[in-house]
Amino acid sequence: MKNNKLLLFLRYLTPLFCLAGIIYLQTSHIQTKQSQTGEDALKEEQSTQVFLNLQKNMPSFGFNNLIADWNFLGFIQYFGDGKARKQTGYSLIPNFFEIMVDRDPRFIQAYLQMSTANSIYAGRPDKTVTFMNRVLESVSPKTFPLSIYIWIYKGVDEILFLGDLKAARHSYQMASNWASIQGNEFMANQTRATAEYLATNPDPRKAQVSAWMTILTTTPDQKTQQYTIDKIKSLGAEISVTPEGKLQVITPSSWE
């Protein structure tokens, strides 16, 4: 029984780490800009914010796909500038994500990668779910083979970060339905099994705490760190600092 639960837990986490690996492979080939000071990084962040705000309302003149592509390249450059991100954090990722979804909701390959960055690095899985729902309104299983993964990754966020098992069950059931339409019976069976497991109403809090700790140890942004700490505490866990300066999570004995 414990092995089965471990397999299910790993199934939830695997997409997150796989996508993080994909993003790393992409950004490792990009030469990051040399941000000399924290002030330089902050000015660049503010300039990017202004530019993104302008894009939200500017006309596309029929070039929506091009604008989405341009913003995806901008996102990769932004994400890959590790020196600047240590100074400012990743708070602009949701802005890139939103503009892209508005301009081209069918850019599925990009959204499967951005979902991890937005949920883990920006610490906004709630917005990831919102954006993924908007994507799903514009795609279908017959014309977009990768669309079933939008349901799956959305379900991962709903389980691990939001703790919304009802929504996650629906996401996995829809993934199963769409996989069947595509003739992918293996994926249909796997996602159906997950939906059935979620119907038993398991306690997701340990998995949630682990997911939020991933964000806490990843982001340098103080606002995101505090947001994450508040989320962990709201689940009933506590965070302490060891004499070595490492973060330690203390979960209630009732969770055992």
Q: Tell me how far apart the alpha carbons of residues 105 and 87 are, in angstroms, rounded to a whole number.
A: 31
10-residue mean pLDDT series, the chain (256 residues): 49 49 43 56 87 83 86 92 88 95 94 92 94 97 93 93 93 96 94 92 86 80 85 90 85 80
pLDDT of residue 33: 47
pLDDT of residue 13: 53
Phi and psi based region of residue 176 (left: phi greater than 0; alpha: psi -120 to 50; beta: remaining): alpha
DSSP-derived 3-state class of residue 57: helix
- Contacts (Cβ under 8 Å, ≥6 apart) of 80: 26, 27, 28, 30, 32
pLDDT of residue 78: 92
Q: Give the containing element (helix H, strand E) for 250.
A: strand 247-250
Nearest-10 crossing angle of helices 147-160, 125-136: 150
pLDDT of residue 128: 97
Q: What single-letter DSSP state applies at residue 120?
A: I
pLDDT of residue 62: 79
pLDDT of residue 11: 52
Tokens representing 226 are 């505090």
pLDDT of residue 37: 66
Tokens representing 150 are 């939008």
pLDDT of residue 219: 76
Model pTM score: 0.78
